[in-house]
Structure 1
Amino acid sequence: MPHADPAPAQTVSEIENAPDFLRKRRTLAALVAQFGYDVSKVTLSPQKKTFNFLGQSFTSEGQSFSDGRIEIYYDPRMSDARLGCCLAHELQHVRYFRVRDAYHAEETDGPLHRRFAKYAPELLAAQRGVSNYSNEHWDAWKGEAPPKLFSLELEEGDSEPINETIAEVAKALYNWGPDVRVNALWKELHDAINEEYAALRSI
């Protein structure tokens, strides 16, 4: 029985001008505005991005950068709800990066150091993650000691257990609302980071 030839891959231009891509881009912009974030810093990329983790190749849904930019990678199968969850996750990374930078810029007895001193590495490691994805980062940690809050986790242990766990808390809160059952300590830390991020933005 003859087989039809596979459809040729779409070019970047064809993807960017497709009705579904244009609709998702408008939806993403509306979601960014709802979060109160700068719409110009978040883009829907037609590119497909993969990364290796735990010896396997995965397709990335999004990426955040320390300068505040966020890229969400277009997937025609991504629902609006999943798009929102992805954005919530990536925005939390941006908040974490901003507070982390401020933490490292101040003296060791500064207000951020005092506020976050209670979140010791051993305490956070004992909690582990709040989702399968964040627990995979805890399992993949290769550092000699547990990761420290606001450390450069990826450089020190080839994974980001703390950063990813906090981002997964944000995703759960967006997806299920404020009454979602999530580890109380991680929720407290998530809220503290967001409070400090808001304070930094107001300066």
Structure 2
Amino acid sequence: MKRPRWQFTLRTILLLTAAVGVWTAVIVNRREIPQLEQRIKAMRLLARELDIKDPNKIAVVKCQELWYDDNEWKIYLPEGKFQVSLATQEVDAQDLAPPSKSAPLPAGTFRLSIAQEKQGKDWRIRVLKNGQEFITVDEPATWHPGHGSSGGGAYSTTEQMNSSEPLVLFRRRFMQPVSATSSQTPNGPCAGVLLWIEPVK
């Protein structure tokens, strides 16, 4: 009795099934990988990791806010001399201001945060380095009359810039009343909070 011309053994059927499965997986993966890569990019933004591509440049990213007005940054400084400065008066919309206090910063990676707190009727502005108090400035109650403010922290994604330029981390300017029902930020310098890092020349 002759066998049918297209008769297959069990081993051949299993090999064909495996081959079809592998090629199906390859096709599905080729379609899915670009979508997954886009999702990974979005997740990296949420993670806010400090990405240092050029060790000769400053790198900075703002940490995820865990509560209202939570302002903390991961920072990398290359070799050189730097200082962090805090200004609470004459804060301009773009330029730097006369610092209320400054402190030296070493090269390397660290965290820097700023907090604006009520101390009785007065105000205390604190800068912390790796969770330890680093700079403190006290201001009277009239410093922030409570009419609102504009501005805040920068660098929600990792950025790198030349170490010769100032790195402004935080800029907040307090509004002043213009009528009985409205307030606005002044055109010129005013009370507020300005935090920046700059090279020491």
Please indicate the TM-score interval, normalised by the length of the shorter structure. under 0.3
Superposition TM-score, scaled by structure 1 size: 0.23
Higher RCO (CA-CA < 8 Å; seq separation 6+): 2
Superposition TM-score, scaled by structure 2 size: 0.23
- Structure with the largest fraction of helix: 1
- Structure with the largest fraction of strand: 2
Which structure has the greater CA radius of gyration? 2
